[in-house]
Amino acid sequence: MDQALILRLRVSLAGLLTKGDQFAATFYRTLFERYPVVKHMFPADMAQQRSKLIQSLVWIVMRLDRRDELVPTIRELGRRHVGYGATPEHYPLVRDTLIDAMAKTAGHEWSEDLAEDWRVSIDLIAHHMIAGATSTAAR
- Using a cut of 0.85, tell me whether the model's pTM lies above it: yes
Say if residue 137's pLDDT is above 80.
Answer: no
* Closest-CA residue to 78 (of 136, 120, 33): 136
Number of structural domains in the chain: 1
Q: Residue by residue, what is the 3-state secondary structure of the chain?
A: CCHHHHHHHHHHHHHHHCCHHHHHHHHHHHHHHHCHHHHHHCCCCCHHHHHHHHHHHHHHHCCCCCHHHHHHHHHHHHHHHHHHCCCCCHHHHHHHHHHHHHHHHHHHHCCHHHHHHHHHHHHHHHHHHHHHHHHHHCC
Over residues 14-28, the pLDDT tens digits come to: 999 999 999 999 999
Say if residue 139's pLDDT is above 70.
Answer: no
Say which CATH number the domain at 108 has: 1.10.490.10
Q: What is the pLDDT of residue 1?
A: 81
* Closest-CA residue to 106 (of 14, 10, 25, 5): 14
Chain mean pLDDT for the chain: 94
The mean pLDDT value for 25-34 works out to 98
CA distance 118 to 136: 27
Domain extent for 99: 3-137
